[in-house]
A and B are shown apart, each in its own frame.
Chain A
Amino acid sequence: MRLAQFLGAAAVAAAAALAGPGAVKAQQLVIWHDLGDNGVAWFERAGAEFAKTKPGVSVRSISYPTDQWFGRVISAINTNTAPDLIFNNYERVIRIQTQTKKVMDLRATLNQVADKGFLSEDDLRVATFDNAMIILPVQRVQMAFGMRQSWLTKTGETFPQSWDDVKRIAAKFRDNDPDGNGRADTFGLALQAAKPRDLVHMLDLFTFGSGLRHTLIDPQGQITIDRPEHAQVLEEFLKTYSQYKFVAPDTINHSFNEMYQVILGGRGGMFRVGDWNVRGWDGANALNGDFVSGPWPAFGGRPNSVVIGGMRGVAVPDNSPNKALALEFAKFLLGKEAQQASLELVGAAVRKDLNVDALSPRQQFFARANHRLAAYDFPESVHTFYPELEAAFHRKLLAGIANPPADWKPFIAETAREMRELAAKLKN
């Protein structure tokens, strides 16, 4: 044991010496998120601004892969080793709250903020769970439908509005060699399906973007998928993965990483664009700006829109080590400097008075948000059993895609029946 302690201490000492004076600040706020290097850069800049008003304070952000983030946050809060702040999508913070009951109610904190007119009633409702404000909403997450501009030009098309447009263009993207490399190696769409959230997330976007309110279950607990307007979207969605051959056959195993490779590799012509993707995709090694965003395709003549995937926000655990300072920083994230940095580095913000002129046209599309917006419904905030239901739904849909029926209508009816039975069972 001595040896280990010695080695450990020696290594720590060496690392501290090499890491420089930054590691031994008097007071350091630690924040855990899953935003990757963009998020690290944002918190670094916001932390530097914050330090101007609070000398001697530093902010350290740590990005974990999303599934690791859950386990880490839950075990840290339960063992009183919580970080000062946590940052993630609203529905994920709900999961933390249901597991730990130790996420602070931030209503009083928000009341201390004078400058908050930019937060709408909807935003605040999204941030509230079980009568407590569990996050301060910091980033409004927008997800648009996007496509390769050069492919549109090559095939003589313009940005599609209706689902029929999308089908026509998808076929052209697949068959007409839109990248001009002489090989039939392109696909109409780049989607994902591997994990429950992957597939249902894609369905969510088509559903909400086409003006419907609930993908699988409504707040009253009714299964919605076999209502005619829902069934239409679902059937076309499933055919996109199967009969239509619009996506690469491996898509059933694609999760975020693989989906991104297909998009960045220029093999899929239409795809999801999140506001946080734009900065990277503008880069020369990525899409070099060769993409255009717009609303999701319209079904049945309903108005179509860009989807708001809820809010990302900052939350403070009850056992945050530097709670007072953590709350100060949480409020600071709503201020103009932090918000401007968020817009530039992560691609999203909530304030409306930010400077967008320096942004690229693709970034400005999201920053100005001059389009119709439809909001997510967050069934997990109403039904605690939702993740399990969603997993069963995903399993059923993937089985269908792997072995597609000639007629999807009975399949959808059967799926709806099974989901009703399962939901009834899980409610008890």
Chain B
Amino acid sequence: MNHRLRAGATTAALYAIAIPISLAFLYPYWWMCLGMFRNARQVLGDPLRLWPEQFDLSAFAEIARVGGVDLWVYAFNSFAITTASTALGIAITAMGAYALCRQPDLPGFRWLRFGFLLTIMYPYMLLVIPVYIVVFKLGLLGSYAGIVLFLALGPIQFFLFDRFFRTLPREVIEAGICDGASEAQILFRIILPMAKPVLATVALITFLINWSQWFPILVISRSPDTFTLPVALLSMNGELGASFRAIMALAFVTTLPVAIAFVLAQRRVMEGMAAGAVKG
């Protein structure tokens, strides 16, 4: 009896820690949602309020057009660019990671792996001008192609595939070789079908990550026609001031799709993300 009481108390204590922390993590979202309906005066005057004074939707009228471009164009760009860069990135990274895992000792492959790791270590915010020059020299300034190609590579995708290919049983490949399959057949007919769950996971994670990218898009674009939602959000923060509720409304619009995607597929995302990072 005493033992069960103690166990109950421990459980209660654990919930007493987990619930407030979770709510604290969600509180900024709630504040953001309130901010869409409240004006600056109400937000600064009564910050603790948990329910808006009014459901004023005028913020959405304010963001219907940002920087001379309709909101739906940004939303369309977000979906188009994120989808295209995710698809392309997965195709390229899967093949690249597979080659690097199957034959890590081929001449140049160690350098390739090292070079790739280097690219994630440079302080990206200082690359504004070089990235612009590179994309210009490729003739891709202001094009969707330039943005999509730039976003295609990312560390998480690579690590996820790397991890998966490393854990593949060698027998699978050897069986393929015995059956006389070519390397291309082994990859496309045997390995990739096996990797379907991983591909789905990587797709989802890449989508979520590319969705919130803004830096390359701002640099490569030549006009707001190719801006995505986060870039539009960023460019609202100009020197001439922006309405607080409009910023919150746009932040909400920017966050909502990823939040929905995440809630729908949370288990897969989290397990996949972790699998990619934990090697061995």
Q: How far is the CA of A365 from the CA of B159 in the complex (A)?
A: 62
B244 touches A261 (CB 8 A): yes
Q: Is A276 an interface residue (CB 8 A)?
A: yes
B45 at the interface (CB under 8 A from A): yes
Supposing A40-B67, A285-B243 touch, asked if A266 and B224 sit within 8 A by C-beta, the answer is no
Chain B residues positioned under 8 Å from A15 (CB to CB): 73, 76-77, 80, 144, 225-226
User: Which residues from A are CB-within-8-Å of B178?
Assistant: none
- A276 and B240 CA atoms in complex are apart in Å by 8
Count residues of B near A (Cβ-Cβ below 8 Å). Answer: 50
Contact A257 B43 (CB under 8 A): no
Known: A15-B76, A30-B223, A65-B239. A265 touches B44 (CB 8 A): yes
Contacts of B146 in A (CB 8 A): 8
CA A286 to CA B149, docked complex, whole Å: 42
The answer to whether B44 touches A262 (Cβ under 8 A) is yes
Can you list 18 A-B pairs, Cβ within 8 angstroms, ordered by A?
A: A4-B88, A11-B144, A15-B225, A18-B76, A19-B73, A36-B240, A62-B67, A63-B67, A63-B235, A74-B129, A79-B132, A81-B141, A185-B44, A256-B240, A256-B241, A266-B44, A267-B44, A276-B240
Residue of B nearest to A197 (CB): B239
Closest beta carbon of chain A to B241's beta carbon, Å: 4
Q: Which residues from B are CB-within-8-Å of A35?
A: 240
**What residue of chain A has the Cβ atom nearest to residue B87's Cβ?**
A7
A30: chain B residues at CB < 8 Å are: 222-223
Q: Which of B192-245 contact A (CB under 8 A)?
A: 218, 222-226, 234-235, 237-245
Query: CB-CB < 8 A to B43: which residues of A?
Result: 265
Does any Cβ of A come within 8 Å of B39's Cβ? yes
A75 adjacent to B80 (CB under 8 Å): no
With contacts A4-B148, A37-B66 taken as known, whether A266 is within 8 angstroms of B45 at the C-beta atoms is yes
A318 contacts partner chain B, Cβ-Cβ < 8 Å: no
Say yes or no: A9-B145 contact (C-beta < 8 A), given A19-B73, A19-B225, A266-B45.
Answer: yes
Measured CA separation A285–B132 after assembly (Å): 39
A37: chain B residues at CB < 8 Å are 65-68
0 or 1 for each of A64-80: is its CB under 8 Å from B? (1 = yes) = 11101001101110010
A1-42 to B contact mask, C-beta < 8 Å, 1/0: 001110111011011001100010000001000111111110
The reply to whether B149 and A4 contact each other, CB–CB distance below 8 Å, is yes
- Asked whether B132 lies within 8 Å of A7 as measured between CB atoms, the reply is no
Known: A3-B88, A265-B43. A40 touches B223 (CB 8 A): no
* B81 on the A face (CB < 8 A): yes
Cross-chain contact B45 with A183 (CB below 8 angstroms): yes
* Contact count band on A: 35 or more
Min CB distance A70 to B, Å, is 10
Nearest CB on A from B28, distance (A): 17
The prevalent SS among residues of A at the interface is helix
A79 near B133 (CB under 8 angstroms)? yes
Q: How far is the CB of A379 from chain B (nearest CB, A)?
A: 20
Contacts of B234 in A (CB 8 A): 65
Instruction: Evaluate contact between B84 and A8: CB separation under 8 angstroms.
Output: yes
Partner of A68, one of B44, B65, B218, B244: B218
Contacts of A63 in B (CB 8 A): 67-68, 235, 238
Is there a chain A Cβ closer than 8 Å to B255's Cβ?
Answer: no
Whether B15 sits at the interface, judged by CB under 8 Å, is no
Counting from the closest, the 9 A-B pairs by CB-CB distance are: A8-B145, A265-B44, A40-B68, A265-B40, A260-B241, A11-B144, A7-B84, A264-B40, A36-B240
| Chain B neighbourhood of A66, CB < 8 A | 238-239
Residues of B within 8 A of A12 (CB): 143-145
- CB <8 Å contact, A11 and B67: no
- Per the bound structure, the CA–CA distance linking A276 and B238 in Å amounts to 13
Q: Is B128 among interface residues, defined by CB-CB distance under 8 A? A: yes
Q: Which residue on B lies nearest to A35, using beta carbons?
A: B240
Report the Cα distance A209→B77, complex, angstroms: 47
Interface presence of A302 (CB below 8 A):
no
Is B152 on the interface with A (CB-CB < 8 A)? yes
| Closest CB in chain A relative to B274 CB, distance in Å | 29
Which residues of A sit under 8 angstroms from B223, Cβ to Cβ? 30, 60, 62
Q: How near does chain B come to A193, taking the closest CB pair, in angstroms?
A: 15
State the CA gap A37–B61 with chains docked (Å). Answer: 13
Within B121-158, the residues touching A (CB, 8 Å) are 128-129, 132-133, 136, 141, 143-146, 148-149, 152
CB closest residue in chain B, given A11: B144
Judge if A98 is at the interface, Cβ distance under 8 Å.
no
Q: Tell me which residues across on chain A come within 8 A of B65, comparing CB atoms.
A: 37
Q: Which of A36, A277, A286 has the most CB of B within 10 A?
A: A36
B41 at the interface (CB under 8 A from A): yes
CB-CB under 8 A from B149, the residues of chain A are 4, 8
